[in-house]
Structure 1
Amino acid sequence: MAEVARLAGVSSTTVSHVLNKTRPVAPETEHLVMQAVAATGYRHNLAARALATQSTDTIGVAMSVVTNPYFAELVRDIERLLRHAGYTMIVADTNDDPAVATDVINHLMARRVSGLIVSPLEGDAQLTGSLTKLLDDDFPLLFLDRRSDLPGDQVYSECVDSIYHLTAHLAGQGHRRIGYIQGSLTSMSATDRLAGYRKAVTELGLDDDPRLVIAGESDEHVTEQRVAAHLAVPDERATALVVSNNQMTLGTMRAIKQARLRLPRDIALICYDDFEWADLFEPQITAMAQDAATLAATAVDLLLARMKSPDRPHQSVAVPTEFHHRDSCGCGRRKHRAAR
């Protein structure tokens, strides 16, 4: 750093301000410093800076990234926003497994991340204990995509009214025997989505048959097998299906194809979680879309605000979804419109 300062004709303190962005520096001075950095091949020692400042300027993200393209889109938006704010992101895939989630969170903390974004899972005492300890220690922690009962900042897509809307949409086409493909209840989002379906069944007087709720476990292959089994009994099967996430939609469609049924003539289909190839199917899939860009922006804003003001009140933000009306519901194409 002293050599950089000598070549640029400035003090070492000025070099530090330029590299750490701790104080505004005149553009011409910054240019001289960066020229000297390039000439010397200097690399900022982030490890040393972390020891001195007790901050690594890194944010850990723990969620099931690899197995779900929706999460990948969300992480991409988060990384772009954090990079713009001067932070580096470290991603750890939880595989939607509480034991793995606990392990990766511990590894991220060992790397001295400055904050954490976590897609929470429910029902595991060890994971809940780890997250509770972080919150008790006032560590900057934000829950993303899934609601949590823990007292922390959280950002998630609206679920209950969205699933209600999808179910009511099928009921409006005359369906009374509407099946529901249920995700793994290890997340509050899956619980909320099931509540939306139950609410519609009760309020709209639909068939309340336990055989219409099919446990897809948020797994494409499990869903395929169980939907296929349901469709194999013509007298008991649903006339329309609400699928509660994108992975299970693919499994459901495979099962429908195996049963030699045609959408929407033989069975109608509608899903929560739009995906970029939904309009490539024939017929195109009617879906409720989550707003990944707004989720990411809100999450980053809340986390950075928490890092600056640890004592600020916790916030819980439900981001509205958007209804993408296509053909698989069986009532013809209309212009896309917001559901709520």
Structure 2
Amino acid sequence: MADVARLAGVSTTTVSHVLNKTRKVAPETEELVWRAVERTGYRQNLAARALATQSTDTIAVAMSVVTNPYFAELVRDIDRLLRSAGYTMIVADTNDDPLVAVDVINHLLARRVSGLVVSPLEGSPELTGSLVKLLDDGFPLLFIDRRSTLPADQVYSECVESTYRLTAHLAEQGHRRIGFVQGSLTSMSASDRLAGYLKAVDELGLDKDPRLIIAGESDEHTAEERVLAHLTAAKEPTTGLVVANNQMTLGTMRALRRRRLKVPRDLALVCYDDFEWADLFDPQITAIAQNAATLAETAVDLLLSRIETPDRAPRSVTIPTEFHHRDSCGCGRRKHRGSTR
């Protein structure tokens, strides 16, 4: 840094401000510094800087990225926004396993990250204890995609009314035995989607047979086998299905194919979580779409605000969803888009 300062004819403090963007520097001075950086081939020693500042300008993201294409899209948007704000992002996959999540979070914290984005899981004392300690210590922590009862900044998509709308849409077509392929209840989002389905069943006078709730566990292969078992064992036909996430939708479609059932001729289907190839299926799938771009933008705003103002009260933001009406529900394509708050 001293070499850069001498070559640019400025102080090392000025060089530091230019490199770290900690204070506004005159444009002509900044240009001199960057020219000197280029000529000397200078690179900051980030390890030394982390030791000195106890921070790395790195944000860690811990969620089940590899196994869920929706999360991959979300992480891509977060990365773009963080880079534009001068941060680097690192990602670790939790496999939606609470014990893996605890291990992952500990390793990320050991890297002296400046903040942490987590897709939280419920029901694990070990994971809950780790997250509570971070909050008690004032560490910048944000929950994304899934609601949590912990007092943290969080952003997630609306689930209850969205799933109610999917179920009600099938009921409007005359369906009364509507099944629900349920996600893993370690996620508050899965619990909220189940609540939306049950609300519709109760308010709309639908069949309350508990066997209509199929535990898909948020897993493609589990959903396939359990939907297949349900359809095989059912004494009364299930005429419609609401599937609670995109992975289970793929498994459900495979189960229907194995039973030689045609959608929507033999069984109507709608799902929570639109995905890129939903309109490539035949028939095209009616779905609730989450807004990954808005989730990412809100998440980054909340986290950077927390880093800048550690003592502010936690904020919880619910992002509206959009109903994408296609053909799998059996009532024909028409313009029918609207947000759910």
- TM-score exceeds 0.5: yes
Aligned partner of 1:98 in structure 2 is: 98
Aligned partner of 1:226 in structure 2 is: 226
The reply to whether residue 22 of structure 1 matches residue 22 of structure 2 is yes
In structure 2, distance between residues paired with 1:43 and 1:336 = 54
In structure 2, distance between residues paired with 1:302 and 1:317 = 9
Aligned partner of 1:322 in structure 2 is: 322
| Residue type at the aligned position of 2:45 | N
Aligned partner of 2:137 in structure 1 is: 137
In structure 1, distance between residues paired with 2:325 and 2:98 = 35
The reply to whether residue 332 of structure 1 matches residue 318 of structure 2 is no
Aligned partner of 1:190 in structure 2 is: 190
Corresponding pairs, count: 340
| Residue type at the aligned position of 1:212 | L
In structure 1, distance between residues paired with 2:83 and 2:336 = 33
In structure 2, distance between residues paired with 1:319 and 1:262 = 34
| Partner-residue secondary structure (3-state), 2:214 | strand
Alignment of 1:1-340 (within 5 A): 1-233=1-233, 235-340=235-340
| Partner-residue secondary structure (3-state), 1:226 | helix
| Residue type at the aligned position of 2:36 | A
1:160 and 1:195 in contact (8 A); partners too: yes
Which ranges of structure 2 fall in alignment gaps of 5 or more residues?
A: none
| Partner-residue secondary structure (3-state), 2:61 | strand
Runs of 4+ in 1 over 2 A off after TM superposition: 233-237
Deviations along 1:118-173, whole A, 9 cap, x unmatched?
Answer: 00000000100000001111111111000011111110000000000000000000
Deviations along 1:3-41, whole A, 9 cap, x unmatched?
Answer: 111212222111111111111112222222111111111
1:166 and 1:242 in contact (8 A); partners too: yes
In structure 2, distance between residues paired with 1:187 and 1:236 = 31
How far residue 236 of structure 1 moved from its aligned partner, in angstroms, is 2.6
Moved more, 101-110 or 226-235: 226-235
How far residue 235 of structure 1 moved from its aligned partner, in angstroms, is 3.3
With structure 1 as the length reference, what TM-score do the two structures score?
0.98
How far residue 228 of structure 1 moved from its aligned partner, in angstroms, is 0.9
Moved more, 59-68 or 18-27: 18-27
In structure 1, distance between residues paired with 2:339 and 2:299 = 22
| Partner-residue secondary structure (3-state), 1:79 | helix
Deviations along 1:50-88, whole A, 9 cap, x unmatched?
Answer: 222222111111100000000000000101111111111
| Residue type at the aligned position of 1:294 | T
In structure 2, distance between residues paired with 1:27 and 1:165 = 54
